[in-house]
Structure 1
């Protein structure tokens, strides 16, 4: 049996990965003997430093395999100011967490071509790099259309859920960055935000920057960092304080704080094949906790052990009902 890459290369602290990212940028700007010697000294200070630098070199080699237009957003922004440099370090640090799986891990973060359709299967999540250096996480069972041209940067969410972190546009003047759904148009103004689509509404969670929303015939309105909202095609909307756990799906977790059981079950159902439903008798039961999305059987066992419910399964396990105990 082949070795598990994750076991062979265990996780590294985020701070160490960001330090490796900083050295990668330093050497990109100044590949002198003094800089290389200083980097070697840092690598020798701790085994984690050496492992992090191996990942950075692997990333650098992988970037060299793609056209320079794609590589530029990864390593080419280091001279544009302290704020942009810090953002670049954080972004590279994120990519370094993907490198341990080698080439397969890089495929999870390969650039997206303009006009490309992206989709994930049930139970699958994916990270993509957009043509301007922005990143987009796709949740399970998600469909996304990417349209970048000289006048616009546009994503059309057809199904599912995405988490977007925008990057400064390398073109001048900067093109607007927009996300379209069946219910309206979202314009990102330097942001990190989550968009979830259901049949009746679009749901937004905003972690940084601001969003401008156009829906129906109502006037445009704005969402600010620390807020979440929903809107529909008629222009109706409601704004509330941000639930920080809304993006936990990126890490493979569902975090609930007194959330109705029906909503928890529906979220788990999106990540598994077959039918998973909640009995209306217990639909409003408040549930709190953290549940792994990639192991819904374990999550169901946690619900059954913690709350007055029982999990009923049909022969073969295709049909599952969470009912009152």
Structure 2
């Protein structure tokens, strides 16, 4: 099918037509879509030139973004199905209305999880209790979408970090509990574990039970047992190592450093603080050790200044902070 041009003002599409195109797009990207659904969509497309233009826009959206964005495909946990479907269709129709020139900008925004169902701000932590009894704690600056249906319990970590404490599935037919990130999927095997989405890598630490990790692009699956942690990309899981207490200290509101570069300590604290927190290159390699309150960055900065030869220069009423070498005077 040849795409139809739709960039001129004369070809502006009726919102009702975009709503219908969004409904077909969501329907055909559902795992339960049938050949009858696809034939019905084709009949709708051919019934009106405006329908053809709207469907061309829908196809261009999928091509441009590499598939229907996950945030539009994962219903919100605990919401009525009808309300969830309305919200999903509304998001999809709104995205179609943006047009191709704005889709990549939308994807850059959505990749940070700003449109996710559950989000935390800088410095915020939030506890969620799921209908099956599973508990999730979202760390600072995190974003999570959820999908519970007859076949699965899926947690899509879009950004940030979370602690998952699984519960037995109350459904008659037990459903696997999986955590998805950009790099792959981790299936819980009766467990308590943390997951962190970094830039191009996922970190997992297992406190209890075990987790089975499957990289997104077909790498070898790895079972990670309690007391172990690892990182993985889309193609491969790193060799697991012993659990490091520093990696799970955030669950107690702490940042643990043992000979850590000051630049790395500052980068971690910056995740918990609104505004800008940076480190002057002159002190970036300073080695830092200690336990710092991650959720009280003012206190953590005070501890650094009182212990090491650095000063905190604050501007814009504390919204811009730079750690610099302490002056001799």
The TM tier, using the shorter chain, reads 0.5 to 0.7
Q: Which moved more, 1:147-156 or 1:270-279?
A: 270-279
Query: Measured at CA, do residues 259 and 238 of structure 1 come closer, stay the same or move farther in structure 2, by a change above 3 Å?
Result: farther
Tell me if the contact between 1:122 and 1:141 (Cα under 8 Å) persists in the aligned partners. yes
Q: Could you list the runs of 5+ residues in structure 1 that have no partner in the other structure? A: 1-110
Query: Measured at CA, do residues 280 and 223 of structure 1 come closer, stay the same or move farther in structure 2, by a change above 3 Å?
Result: farther
Tell me if the contact between 2:77 and 2:148 (Cα under 8 Å) persists in the aligned partners. no
Distance 1:283 1:194 in 2: 28
**Map of 1:113 onto structure 2:** 78
Cα offset, 1:293, TM superposition: 2.1
Cα offset, 1:261, TM superposition: 1.9
- Counting only pairs closer than 5 Å after superposition, residues 1-325 of structure 1 correspond to structure 2 as 113=78, 117-215=117-215, 216-325=217-326
Distance 1:312 1:225 in 2: 43
Cα offset, 1:112, TM superposition: 5.3
Size of the alignment, in residue pairs?
Answer: 215
**Which structure's CA Rg is the greater one?**
2
TM-score normalized by the length of structure 2:
0.61
The Cα RMSD (Å) is 2.0
**Map of 1:10 onto structure 2:** none
Query: Measured at CA, do residues 127 and 152 of structure 1 come closer, stay the same or move farther in structure 2, by a change above 3 Å?
Result: same
Tell me if the contact between 1:131 and 1:148 (Cα under 8 Å) persists in the aligned partners. no
Q: Could you list the runs of 5+ residues in structure 2 that have no partner in the other structure? A: 1-75, 85-115
**Structure 1, residues 277-318: CA drift from partner, whole Å, max 9, x if none?**
123333333322121123211101101111222222224322
Distance 1:187 1:315 in 2: 45
**Map of 2:43 onto structure 1:** none
Cα offset, 1:210, TM superposition: 0.8
Query: Measured at CA, do residues 247 and 236 of structure 1 come closer, stay the same or move farther in structure 2, by a change above 3 Å?
Result: closer
Tell me if the contact between 1:231 and 1:238 (Cα under 8 Å) persists in the aligned partners. no
Tell me if the contact between 2:219 and 2:234 (Cα under 8 Å) persists in the aligned partners. no
Cα offset, 1:142, TM superposition: 0.9
Distance 2:192 2:118 in 1: 20
Distance 1:324 1:112 in 2: 49
4+ runs deviating over 6 angstroms: none
Query: Measured at CA, do residues 281 and 230 of structure 1 come closer, stay the same or move farther in structure 2, by a change above 3 Å?
Result: farther
Tell me if the contact between 1:112 and 1:129 (Cα under 8 Å) persists in the aligned partners. no
TM-score normalized by the length of structure 1:
0.62
Distance 1:243 1:266 in 2: 19
Distance 1:203 1:281 in 2: 30
Query: Measured at CA, do residues 235 and 207 of structure 1 come closer, stay the same or move farther in structure 2, by a change above 3 Å?
Result: same
Distance 1:174 1:324 in 2: 57
Tell me if the contact between 2:204 and 2:229 (Cα under 8 Å) persists in the aligned partners. yes
